[in-house]
């Protein structure tokens, strides 16, 4: 994903970002799903919140920010 940020705009940037993001998203979604269904799968922070929830939210936020910035740079 980092390489996509320094790549020139265009399809190369998308070819670098989307597969890397998908891999991280699948891991975060799998961890979140297993935590919801099975429980005690992910490590927890000091407040007791599973860290996979934070990973999932960060993945979604990164995707939304990438879409927003890629749409604004095309205009």
Q: Taking 60 as the threshold, does the pLDDT of residue 75 lie above it?
A: no
Q: Work out whether the CA dihedral 7, 13, 30, 62 comes out positive or negative.
A: positive
Instruction: Calculate what percentage of the chain has a pLDDT beyond 70.
Output: 92
Q: Which residue has the tokens 């265009």?
A: 10
**Domain locations along the chain:** 2-74
* pLDDT single digits (tens) 25-49: 999 999 999 999 998 999 999 999 9
pLDDT at 69 over 60: yes
Mean pLDDT, rounded, for 12-18: 85
C-alpha span between 18 and 16 (Å, rounded): 6
């Amino acid at each position: 994903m980092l390489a996509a940020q320094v790549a020139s705009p265009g399809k190369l940037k998308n070819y670098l970002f989307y597969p890397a993001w998908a891999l991280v998203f699948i891991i975060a979604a799998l961890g979140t799903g297993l935590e919801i269904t099975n429980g005690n799968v992910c490590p927890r922070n000091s407040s007791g919140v599973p860290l996979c929830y934070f990973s999932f939210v960060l993945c979604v936020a990164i995707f939304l920010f990438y879409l927003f910035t890629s749409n604004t740079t095309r205009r």
